[in-house]
Amino acid sequence: MSNAQLIDRRKFIRSTALAAGGLIIAFNVPAGIRTRGVVKEPVLFAPNAFLRIGSDNSVKIILSHCEMGQGIWTSLSMLIAEELDADWKSLQVEHAPADIAYYHTVYATQRTGGSSSLNSEFDRYRKAGATARYLLVQAAANRWKVAPDDCQTANGYVVSGDKKISYGELVTDAMALPAPADIPLKDPKDWKIIGGKIKRLDTQEKIKGTAVFGMDIHFPDLLTVMVARVPVNGATVTGYDEAAALAVPGVRQVVKIPTGVAVLADDFWSAKKGRQALKVQWDLGAAANISSDSLFTEMKARADKGGIVATEEGNVAELFKQSVTKVEVEYFQPFLAQSPMEPLNCTVKLSADKCEIWTGTQTQTDDQHAASEITGLPISQVFIHTCFLGGSFGRRNITRSDFVREAVEVAKASGKLVKTVWTREDDIQGGRYRPAFLHRFKVGLDANGMPVSWDQISVGQSVMTGGPFEKIAVVNGVDTFSIEGMQAVPFIKALKNKKIAVNTPDWPIMIDNWRAVGMSHTIFAMESLIDEMAYAAKKDPVAYRRLLYKDDARLLKVLDLAAEKSSWGTPLPKDHGRGIAAFKACGSYVALVAEVSVPKNGMVKVHKVTCVVDCGTAIQPDGVVAQMEGSVGYGLSAALYSEITFKNGQVQQKNFYNYPILRMNEMPEVNTYIVPGNEPPGGIGEASVGQMMPALTNAMFAVTGKRIRNLPIYKMKMGNA
């Protein structure tokens, strides 16, 4: 969207919000939940789409991005509050409705993802605050007949000499003033909020249990829906018998929808029992032949065959032949489910002229379009109420809005006010998975152990094909996310003899975003391989990386600091070892050192993880630390246990008992160090997930001398499931 359009749009928002309070009304939380966001009758000053200042001194921030745990509820609000000089304690925060005004500055739809929120909003949100402050100061100056330059602001007041007035008292005057064309921002050295010790704004409601997640939406006449979903991707319903389901007390209706058969009931339990009683016949379709073993074999065959070249330079074969030491390895990583803590759900209220949707989503515009397409209503009549997301990790950032689409289909087919609820089994089996990947390398090292030739083939499904970013992400048939981050590594860029290719199977397995996307698997391959190269070169893994990363000052810095903080190289007790991994991800540089012990015939224990991150400007430092800790846990879960497998097209895992998640007793001590920086903020929610996996296996190698090239480390026994 051009700036001119943006400005027009803001004017529009301003006038409609003021005239009708229309945008505000859209925030009303349904009765029976609670009354967050219901504004009585203060005069509201809406200098832009992101901010409402009330004559009652309320300051409301309207977030174009969604809160799923990553902390933008707080950190984005800090950007506005900083420039506004707002009273931090008076802030209220809400999710924005679906509206073009809230489009992502880069993605051009309303979307939260790619760890991009802070980076993309860094200027826009600060400007939103600065513009409001400018107008309020101007209003006070006019009132007092002083120059704006003689006014100061702090904590929601304008002050000049002995005069002092609250922002609330100025809103009517400020509204009448023209917005400035452009506005200077504070010098970072004057920041009081950004970079400060600020606590999260959503903690209270989350610990008291009053935070509203999609799952908590309730209306008196709402029916809970459970869908008997296709057991195999691409299967179709050939028939069903609803009698037994309808006989379950509390079950109200059974309807067929494109993804299966939906049971509508008074409550969750009745819906679940109804679904159990329902008899559905399926045509399982072609995907019923899929099994993990044959997929794995096929991946190897594809790697043998070669693929589409992403980069090729020099004479790889010849240099490899001449090289002193040869490293030939491959790494396999399985399909993974995101399994956010809150299972998917979506509430839909559909009437003749509008469709209202309550859910936790990362993709409001896509959802709005999907609902419009299904209902035939104009997009302007589809209203999205974004609730808190009980985690997502990409599951709520899905091409074609699968779970929203399905709920709208149920509402349309049934004519009822419905909330679809997925069980944990539905979540794990009806997933949009991180694709399995095989990365195979042939690397030749010179007499000093440094790489002279690099031959790589990466085999796995394309996440971006068919999605909103296909045009940018898929270049000449190569999904750059299949090798995400690898080509950008400076020593690879500098290599004169290299070939990186991808082979992209088109399997009927639903895949999509999973925390860190491509880097959830490329970093494991890369940082395991570099460890192997270090050992092949008979060099210490940190010392070797220093040589490799010499042209990347920020990566070198986190590497060095991680080595220092973890006391790299100092003696450890028997059976203990350290492993390192360092990589640039989502605009941030992260080095992790894991300290583990591996007893003979026992399972690994991760004692400590040292994490060093350079994310440029750290807006809310404690939030950065929290994301590092969480990503360590998320990465460890995946490396240790996580694996989705298929048998006859069906996912074999069902619940946390065979798709285990890291628990309290397995969580290492994590010590995080933030490298101070003043570059624009990098992403933090995904920046350290990928490094955790090789840091762990590299540490295990240091103890056992056994290299782990296949994840997960521990496989669940699936029996005959």
Partner 1 sequence: MQLTVNGKSYDVNVPSDMPILWVIRDKLGLMGTKFGCGAAQCGACTVHLDGQGIRSCVAPVSRAEGKEIVTIEGLNDTLSKPLMAAWTEIDVPQCGYCQTGQIMAAAVLLRDNNNPTDQDIDNAMSGNICRCATYQRIRKAIHLAAELKKSSS
Q: Which residues bind partner 1 (CB under 8 A)?
A: 32-33, 67-71, 199-200, 202-213, 215-216, 218, 224, 249, 266-269, 339-343, 388-393, 421, 423-424, 622, 626-627, 629-634, 636-637, 655-657, 661-665, 667, 669-670
CB of 44 to partner 1, least distance (A): 28
CB of 641 to partner 1, least distance (A): 12
Among 63, 69, 64, which residue's Cα sits nearest to residue 515? Answer: 69
CB of 205 to ligand FES, least distance (A): 13
21 C-beta neighbours (distance < 10 Å), count = 14
Distances (CA, A) of 368 to 263, 290, 355, 364: 24, 34, 9, 6
32 contact choice in ligand FES, partner 1, none (CB below 5 to 8 Å, kind-dependent): partner 1
- Between residues 334 and 391, which has the closer beta carbon with respect to ligand FES? 391
Using the Cα atoms of residue 188, residue 192, residue 193 and residue 199 in order, give the sign of their dihedral.
positive
Question: Which residues inside 194-253 make contact with ligand FES, applying CB under 6 A?
Answer: none
Q: Contacting ligand FES (CB under 6 A), which of 391, 468, 677, 682? A: 391
Q: Whole-angstrom Cα distance, residue 682 to residue 186?
A: 20
CB of 69 to ligand FES, least distance (A): 5
714 contact choice in partner 1, ligand FES, none (CB below 5 to 8 Å, kind-dependent): none
579 contact choice in ligand FES, partner 1, none (CB below 5 to 8 Å, kind-dependent): none
CB 517 within 8 A of CB 481: yes
CB of 349 to partner 1, least distance (A): 18
By CB under 6 A, tell whether 341 contacts ligand FES: yes
CB 71 within 8 A of CB 118: no
Burial of 697 (0-12, 13-18, 19+ CB in 10 A): buried
663 contact choice in ligand FES, partner 1, none (CB below 5 to 8 Å, kind-dependent): partner 1
- Between residues 151 and 696, which has the closer beta carbon with respect to partner 1? 696
688 contact choice in ligand FES, partner 1, none (CB below 5 to 8 Å, kind-dependent): none
> By rule CB under 6 A, what string of x and - marks binding of each residue 640-659 to ligand FES?
--------------------
673: which DSSP letter? Answer: E
Helix ranges, 376-518 (H): 402-414, 424-429, 470-473, 490-494
Burial of 372 (0-12, 13-18, 19+ CB in 10 A): middle
Question: Which residues inside 128-147 make contact with ligand FES, applying CB under 6 A?
Answer: none
CB of 273 to partner 1, least distance (A): 8
Q: Rounded to the nearest 5°, which phi and psi values hold at 716?
A: -80, 145
Q: Whole-angstrom Cα distance, residue 90 to residue 502?
A: 52
CB 362 within 8 A of CB 111: yes
The residue whose Cβ lies closest to ligand FES is 341
609: which DSSP letter? Answer: E
376 C-beta neighbours (distance < 10 Å), count = 10
CB of 505 to ligand FES, least distance (A): 33
Give the list of residues 6+ apart from residue 230 with CB closer than 8 angstroms, or none. 236, 237, 259, 260, 282
CB of 34 to partner 1, least distance (A): 9
Residues touching ligand FES, count (CB under 6 A): 3
- Between residues 391 and 541, which has the closer beta carbon with respect to partner 1? 391
CB of 424 to ligand FES, least distance (A): 7
Does residue 466 come out as left (phi exceeding 0), alpha (psi in the -120 to 50 range) or beta?
Answer: left
Query: How much is the CA Rg of the chain, to the nearest whole Å?
Result: 27
- Between residues 341 and 603, which has the closer beta carbon with respect to ligand FES? 341
283 contact choice in ligand FES, partner 1, none (CB below 5 to 8 Å, kind-dependent): none
71 contact choice in ligand FES, partner 1, none (CB below 5 to 8 Å, kind-dependent): partner 1
477 contact choice in ligand FES, partner 1, none (CB below 5 to 8 Å, kind-dependent): none
709 contact choice in partner 1, ligand FES, none (CB below 5 to 8 Å, kind-dependent): none
* 251-257 vs 260-265, strand pairing mode: antiparallel
- Between residues 368 and 688, which has the closer beta carbon with respect to partner 1? 688
CB of 635 to partner 1, least distance (A): 9
> By rule CB under 6 A, what string of x and - marks binding of each residue 48-87 to ligand FES?
---------------------x------------------
CB of 177 to partner 1, least distance (A): 38
268 contact choice in partner 1, ligand FES, none (CB below 5 to 8 Å, kind-dependent): partner 1
CB 619 within 8 A of CB 194: yes
CB of 396 to ligand FES, least distance (A): 13
622 contact choice in ligand FES, partner 1, none (CB below 5 to 8 Å, kind-dependent): partner 1
CB of 673 to partner 1, least distance (A): 15
> How many CA atoms are closer than 13 Å to the CA of 201, on its beta-carbon side?
22
667 contact choice in partner 1, ligand FES, none (CB below 5 to 8 Å, kind-dependent): partner 1
- Between residues 18 and 667, which has the closer beta carbon with respect to ligand FES? 667
Give the list of residues 6+ apart from residue 502 with CB closer than 8 angstroms, or none. 307, 308, 310, 457, 458, 459, 460, 478, 479, 482, 483
CB of 420 to ligand FES, least distance (A): 18
Burial of 661 (0-12, 13-18, 19+ CB in 10 A): middle
117 contact choice in ligand FES, partner 1, none (CB below 5 to 8 Å, kind-dependent): none
Q: Whole-angstrom Cα distance, residue 626 to residue 609?
A: 14
327 C-beta neighbours (distance < 10 Å), count = 19
> How many CA atoms are closer than 13 Å to the CA of 314, on its beta-carbon side?
18
202 contact choice in partner 1, ligand FES, none (CB below 5 to 8 Å, kind-dependent): partner 1
CB 640 within 8 A of CB 712: yes
- Between residues 53 and 636, which has the closer beta carbon with respect to partner 1? 636
- Between residues 203 and 289, which has the closer beta carbon with respect to partner 1? 203
Among 17, 83, 50, 47, which residue's Cα sits nearest to residue 173? Answer: 47
- Between residues 239 and 249, which has the closer beta carbon with respect to partner 1? 249
DSSP code string of 623-643: HHHHHHHHHHHHHHHHHHT--
Give residues in contact with ligand FES (CB under 6 A).
69, 341, 391
